[in-house]
Structure 1
Amino acid sequence: MLKVKVRTGESVQQMIRRFKKLCEKEGLIRDMKRNAYYEKPSERERRRMRKAQRAARR
C-alpha cells in the first residue's frame, strides 16, 4: 500500500504528482491495465514467447 505524506509547503497537485510517480514506479498502473480483462493462459504464454523472441533478436 502506497502512502504519500504532505511535505511542508507542498500543494495538493504536487502531492498527487508524487503519488502518480510512485504508482508508476511500483507497476500498479500496468497491473491494473493487465487485469482489466481476462486473458487466457494460452494468450499469456504466447505474449511471453513473443517478448522473449524480440529480446533474443536484440
Structure 2
Amino acid sequence: MVFVKVRDAEHLEEALKRFKRECEKNGILKEIKRRETYMPPSVKRKIKSQEAQRRMRRTKRKRF
C-alpha cells in the first residue's frame, strides 16, 4: 500500500501528484486493469508465449 505524508507548507495537489507517481511506480493501476476482466488460463498461456517470442526477437536484434 502506498502512503504519502503531506509535508509542511505543501499544497494538496502536490501531495496528490506524488501519490499518483508512487502508485504508477508500484504498478497498482496496471494490476487493477489486469484484474478487471476474467482471462481463461488458455488465453493467459497464449499471451505469455507471445511475450516470450517477442522478447526472443528483441534479443536477437540487439545481438547483431
Fold conserved (TM > 0.5)? Answer: yes
Q: Which runs of 5+ in 2 are unaligned?
A: 59-64
Structure 1, unaligned stretches of length 5 or more? none
Compute the RMSD of aligned alpha carbons.
Answer: 0.7
Q: Give the alignment's TM-score, normalised by structure 2.
A: 0.85
Tell me, in whole angstroms, the C-alpha distance in 2 between the residues paired with 1:55 and 1:21: 27
Structure number with greater Rg is 2
| TM superposition shift of 1:16 | 0.7
Q: What TM-score, normalized by structure 1, do the two folds share?
A: 0.93
- 1:33 equivalenced with 2:33 (yes/no): yes
- Structure ranking higher on relative contact order (CA contacts 8 Å, 6+ apart): 1
How many residue pairs get matched? 58
Say which structure is richer in helix. 2
